[in-house]
């Protein structure tokens, strides 16, 4: 269905404007042909006020109406089909046998009377079309295909890609009787008589049948033994229910000039009549899609030409309390039942169940969900006045991240049980002919994300949709604004993790070579559960989603080598290729987290220095690029398809030490992912991948680069959402210029971000740890700041420690704070800071360490001789410890001990003397 049809709010009103007839009445939908064209009928009156029934074809591309044929009198048409070249038309009428007369009022009464099925009479006709469609014809028995009968009957012409020359093929379906092919002889047919001959009997006694006009496939369910594809000797003869053979859902694929072939045979479980609602005895004469069954079955097959096929089955049930209870269940109006639907995902080899509890029987019995396929990504389940379920069951990854939307818009509501899917997310109400455009728009999903009643599962699924399916980083930025406005939500961290995981997966998949694409099936996809799931909807309704693996789904399909034309590409060969064989689980970030838990304990940045001075720059560990920022450029332009600009980070991405902790995190991610891909790439890859294992390193390197890129993107977006202007100022001075309240809120935002990154073992941008530590120092109380440092949330790097040490005054409490911070540092880092702290306490601590090294026998030649600034002290009472004429001072005695252990050239007498003088005074 094109965009033109979506602009129409009511199809009946639109057609009436095209016809421009005041007597326009009894508008009906008769069917949908290839390309989305609609067959419609209406009743009007000629110049003599005689009733006339017309059939027209509404083109979906331009919404233009073309009259096809006209018949005299009031004819109750329910379904029709037309050939591709518009030469023949076949339709079905329904009459009510009541004293030999037909009445529209009686027909309406029959549709609501379950005991009047025998009164309904279906008749199928076929006519050759004239060029002059305005001439009214007479409907007589000469054009009758089958005798009138009480079972529902539909007709459908087969399409040919090549223009036919002498014949057309017509399918005729009669419920629980037969599905047959009739051949229409074009040369021997006239406007009065159509040459029609039965060609072949396709199916006998089917329970359910559906025609897919896009793929020219016929699906049906019957009680028969499934034919074996290996030898083809099984019989197609129907069997009785007493033989206890389960129903088989089969698919017949039709071709132009070749015989049709059975491409699918899958056992299909129908509801147990004891535990389920008893079947009704009437039919829904709904021609879109072309499907025949009684109203107790709601089964639909939705597919996509690229190979996605889903078999959907809706039912209502009430759990049985006792296994011995065989009596039928009597449901009252206030009884609560389960509204459920099962979907066989052939392209995933899985069976998905969805059960919604505590639905009143009066509501559940009147709801008939419709199923449709949104391109090749989502199966849409629309339950009128209840919900819209967007099932992420596309070909590119396993089923996950389903979105359940409430029906809140009046345009999306409908009390009708006659709903038809025109295409994708466009549905028509066949009673009111209102066109319902189901919400898959960005604005609707954004609004639902902002709702306080939306569950975290739905929010994560919406983030997954915008990240993986649409790559809309501008929308993600707006959703981050919403998350920051509610930053105290405990689920913020989970949503940030989904942005990191999903955004990385999406970024890696772009610009990869064809050989490397299969490896993306092993990369992390989402933080949502991919197995069984349970969550709650507003109104205390629980939703339970479970999965079952199909037992060898490839056996149910006809292999490409056994097709009529072997290996010719179509939907079924693509489905065969899509079925997973020996599926392997995706790489888990927790693997890297476990490795870092051990390695970071022993991590010493100063020991990894690559130059003589730890503060001097060097070559990055992760590759040939010089910095982490250069490494991030390997991921490409993250916002190539985004409308939002790149905002600078609130800090300068400058290396503060030679060996960065973030480089270590990236190297561990790169190593672990490379090893995982190398072990499992043969299972998921193609033959060319097996011959080129270098793709493993390329994918792993790109993934590690995209991790850093996504980390920078989230940090930048959160900064912008926190109303921090990074164009005016950046770095630590930006924190000093912020108001205290603003600093506190910004710290909470970055705390959520830091937690999300740490739990996924993602790298931080360069400069973030120091910026975050200084922000915490300015936002938290001293006691709380020390707790964050002890918990390893805040890192005391050299650059930020210099600023903190200089910012703290030299009062007693602040000196104690400095000493506590120094004790929390690694020994080498604390020594560097002590050498640059010009304070008597620093002299004392360095002198004690110097003396300890001398007395313990440490090689002083390997020790660094740090310069120190001479401090002037006023003489105090403690000078009696110095040398006098009558005795040696304790300092002389101590120097004697030191000279006995080391050479005079190795002793720093100035440091020892100044430290001794400093210790004599009250600091």
| Residue 798 vs residues 192, 355, 658, 807: alpha-carbon distances, Å | 97, 57, 11, 14
Chain position carrying tokens 């269905």: 1
Q: For tokens 């639902």, what's the residue?
A: 448
Per the prediction, the chain carries an average pLDDT of: 79
Quick one: CA torsion of 83, 86, 87, 91, rounded to 10 degrees? 60
Question: Which residues, in sequence order, are bridge partners of residue 382?
Answer: 370, 388
Q: Which helix (H) or strand (E) holds 370?
A: strand 370-374
Cis, bond preceding 601 (omega within 30 deg of 0): no
Residue 870: domain span = 839-919
Residue 71 has pLDDT above 70, yes or no: yes
620: pLDDT strictly greater than 60: no
Read off the pLDDT of residues 315-372 as tens digits, 9 standing for 90 and up: 888 876 655 555 555 666 667 888 899 999 999 989 999 998 888 888 888 888 899 9
Q: What is the pLDDT of residues 241-257, one digit of tens each?
A: 444 667 899 999 998 87
From 183, 204, 225, give the residue that closes a domain.
Answer: 204
364 occurs within a structural domain: no
Domain boundary among 187, 204, 221: 204
| Residue pointed to by tokens 């913020």 | 492
Q: Which DSSP category does 468 fall into?
A: I
Q: How many domains are contained in the chain?
A: 2
Could you count the other beta carbons within 10 Å of the beta carbon of residue 91? 28
Whether 314 is in a domain gets the answer no
As beta bridge partners, residue 486 has none
Q: Judge whether 8 lies within some domain.
A: yes
pLDDT of res. 272: 57
Cα distance between residue 633 and residue 14, in whole Å: 53
Q: What is the pLDDT of residue 871?
A: 52
Q: Which residues contact 485 (CB under 8 A, 6 or more apart)?
A: 721
In Å, what is the CA distance from 487 to each residue of 18, 718, 757, 764, 779?
54, 11, 16, 20, 16
Is residue 845 assigned to a domain?
A: yes
At residue 273 the predicted structure's pLDDT band, cuts being 50, 70 and 90, is very low
pLDDT tens by residue, 128-153: 887 776 677 888 887 888 888 888 99
Residue 219 has pLDDT above 50, yes or no: yes
Six-digit token pair at 810? 């030299």
At residue 567 the predicted structure's pLDDT band, cuts being 50, 70 and 90, is: confident
- Spatial distance between the Cα atoms of 111 and 129, rounded to a whole number of angstroms: 31
Q: Is residue 637 part of a domain?
A: no
pLDDT band at 3 (very low <50, low <70, confident <90, very high): low
**369 belongs to a structural domain:** no
| pLDDT greater than 80 at residue 650 | yes
pLDDT classification of 645: cutoffs 50, 70, 90? low
Long-range Cβ contact pairs of 470-474 (< 8 A, separation 24 or more) = 470/442, 471/506, 471/510, 471/641, 471/642, 472/442, 472/641, 472/642, 473/503, 473/638, 473/639, 473/641, 473/642, 473/644, 473/713, 474/642, 474/643, 474/644
- Lowest average pLDDT, out of 243-252, 260-269, 602-611, 751-760, goes to 602-611
What pLDDT sits at residue 420?
Answer: 83
Domain boundary among the residues 180, 204, 228 is at 204
Specify the pTM: 0.84
364-415 pLDDT, tens digit per residue, is: 888 888 999 887 789 999 988 888 899 998 888 889 889 988 876 555 556 6
pLDDT of amino acid 466 = 94
Half-sphere exposure of 651 (CA within 13 A, CB side): 24
Q: Would 675 be classed as within a structural domain?
A: no
pLDDT tens digits for range 795-825: 888 888 888 888 888 777 878 888 888 888 8
Q: Could you write out the DSSP letters of every residue in 227-295?
A: PPTTT---------GGG-PPPEEEEEE--SSS--EEEEEEE-PPPPTTTBPPPPS-B---TTTTEE-BT
Mean pLDDT value of segment 737-759: 95
Q: pLDDT confidence of 625, banded at 50, 70, 90? A: very low
The Cα–Cα gap between 493 and 882 comes to 62
In a domain, 617, yes or no: no
Across the range 555-578, mean pLDDT stands at 89
């Amino acid at each position: 269905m094109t965009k033109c049809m979506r602009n129409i709010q009511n199809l009946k009103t639109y057609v009436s404007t095209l016809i421009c007839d005041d007597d326009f009445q009894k508008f009906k939908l008769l069917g949908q042909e290839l390309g989305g064209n609609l067959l419609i009928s209406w009743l009007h009156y000629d110049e003599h006020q005689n009733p006339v029934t017309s059939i027209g074809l509404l083109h979906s591309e331009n919404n233009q109406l073309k009259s096809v044929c006209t018949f005299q009198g009031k004819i109750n048409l329910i379904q029709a089909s037309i050939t591709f070249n518009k030469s023949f038309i076949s339709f079905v009428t329904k009459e009510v046998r009541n004293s030999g007369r037909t009445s529209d009022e009686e027909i309406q009464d029959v549709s609501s009377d379950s005991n009047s099925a025998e009164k309904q009479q279906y008749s199928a006709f076929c006519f050759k079309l004239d060029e002059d469609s305005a001439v009214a014809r007479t409907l007589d028995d000469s054009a009758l295909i089958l005798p009138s009968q009480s079972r529902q009957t539909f007709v459908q012409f087969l399409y040919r890609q090549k223009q036919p020359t002498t014949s057309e093929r017509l399918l005729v379906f009669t419920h629980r009787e037969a599905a047959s092919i009739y051949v229409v002889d074009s040369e021997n047919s006239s406007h009065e008589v159509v040459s029609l001959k039965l060609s072949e009997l396709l199916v006998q006694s089917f329970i359910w049948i559906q025609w897919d006009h896009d793929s020219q496939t016929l699906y049906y369910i019957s009680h028969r033994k499934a034919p074996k594809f290996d030898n083809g000797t099984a019989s197609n003869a129907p069997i009785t229910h007493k033989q206890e053979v389960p129903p088989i859902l089969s698919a017949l694929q039709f071709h132009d000039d070749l015989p049709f072939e059975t491409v699918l045979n899958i056992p299909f479980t129908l509801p147990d009549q004891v535990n389920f609602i008893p079947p009704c005895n009437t039919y829904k004469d709904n021609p879109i899609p072309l499907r025949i069954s009684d109203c107790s079955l709601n089964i639909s097959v939705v597919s996509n030409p690229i190979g996605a096929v889903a078999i959907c089955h809706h039912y209502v049930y009430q759990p049985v309390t006792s296994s011995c209870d065989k009596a039928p269940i009597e449901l009252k109006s206030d009884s609560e039942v389960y509204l459920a639907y099962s979907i066989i995902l052939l392209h995933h080899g899985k069976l998905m169940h969805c059960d919604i509890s505590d639905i009143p029987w009066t509501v559940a019995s009147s709801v008939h969900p419709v199923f449709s396929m949104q391109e090749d990504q989502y199966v849409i389940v629309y339950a009128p006045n209840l919900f819209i379920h967007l099932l992420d069951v596309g070909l590119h990854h396993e089923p996950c991240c389903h979105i359940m939307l409430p029906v809140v818009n009046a345009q999306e509501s409908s009390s009708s049980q006659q709903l038809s899917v025109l295409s994708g997310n466009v549905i028509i109400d066949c009673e009111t002919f209102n066109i319902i455009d189901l919400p898959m728009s960005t604005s609707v999903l954004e609004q639902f994300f902002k709702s306080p009643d939306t569950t975290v599962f739905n929010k994560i699924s919406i983030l997954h949709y915008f990240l993986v399916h649409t790559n809309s980083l501008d929308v993600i930025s707006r959703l981050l604004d919403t998350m920051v406005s509610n930053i105290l939500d405990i689920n913020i961290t989970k949503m940030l993790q989904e942005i990191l995981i999903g955004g990385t997966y999406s970024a890696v998949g772009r610009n990869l070579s064809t050989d490397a694409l299969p490896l993306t099936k092993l990369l992390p996809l989402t933080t949502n559960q991919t197995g069984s799931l349970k969550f709650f909807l507003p109104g205390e309704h629980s939703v339970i989603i479970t999965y079952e693996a199909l037992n060898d789904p490839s056996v149910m399909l006809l292999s490409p080598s056994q097709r009529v034309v072997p290996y010719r590409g179509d939907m079924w060969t693509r489905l065969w290729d899509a079925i997973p064989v020996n599926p392997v689980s995706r790489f888990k970030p927790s693997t890297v987290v476990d490795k870092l838990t051990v390695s970071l304990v022993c991590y010493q940045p100063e020991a990894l220095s690559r130059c003589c001075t730890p503060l001097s720059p060097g070559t990055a560990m992760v590759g040939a690029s010089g910095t982490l920022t250069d490494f991030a450029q390997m991921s490409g332009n993250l916002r190539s398809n985004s409308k939002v600009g790149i905002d600078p980070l609130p800090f300068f991405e400058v290396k503060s030490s030679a060996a960065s902790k973030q480089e270590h995190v990236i190297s561990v991610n790169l190593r672990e992912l490379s090893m995982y891909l190398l072990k499992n790439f043969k299972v998921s890859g193609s033959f060319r991948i097996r011959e080129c294992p270098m793709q493993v390193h390329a994918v792993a390197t790109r993934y590690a680069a995209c991790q850093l890129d996504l980390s920078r993107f989230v940090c930048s977006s959160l900064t912008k959402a926190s109303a921090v202007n990074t164009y005016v100022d950046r770095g630590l001075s930006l924190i000093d210029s912020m108001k205290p309240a603003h600093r506190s809120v910004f710290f909470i935002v970055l705390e959520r971000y830091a937690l999300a990154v740490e739990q996924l073992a993602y790298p931080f941008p360069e400069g973030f740890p120091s910026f975050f530590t200084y922000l915490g120092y300015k936002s938290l109380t001293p006691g709380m700041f020390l707790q964050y440092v002890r918990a390893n949330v805040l890192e005391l790097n050299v650059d930020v420690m210099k600023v903190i040490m200089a910012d703290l005054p030299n009062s007693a409490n602040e000196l104690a704070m400095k000493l506590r911070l120094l004790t929390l540092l690694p020994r080498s880092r604390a020594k560097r800071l002590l050498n640059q702290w010009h304070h008597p306490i620093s002299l004392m601590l360095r002198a004690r360490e110097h003396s300890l090294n001398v007395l313990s026998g440490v090689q002083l030649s390997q020790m660094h001789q740090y310069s120190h600034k001479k401090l002037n002290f006023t003489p105090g009472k403690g000078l009696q410890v110095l040398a006098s004429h009558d005795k040696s001072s304790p300092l002389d005695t101590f120097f004697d001990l030191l000279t006995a252990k080391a050479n005079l050239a190795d002793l720093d007498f100035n440091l020892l003397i100044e430290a001794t003088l400093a210790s004599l005074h009250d600091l």
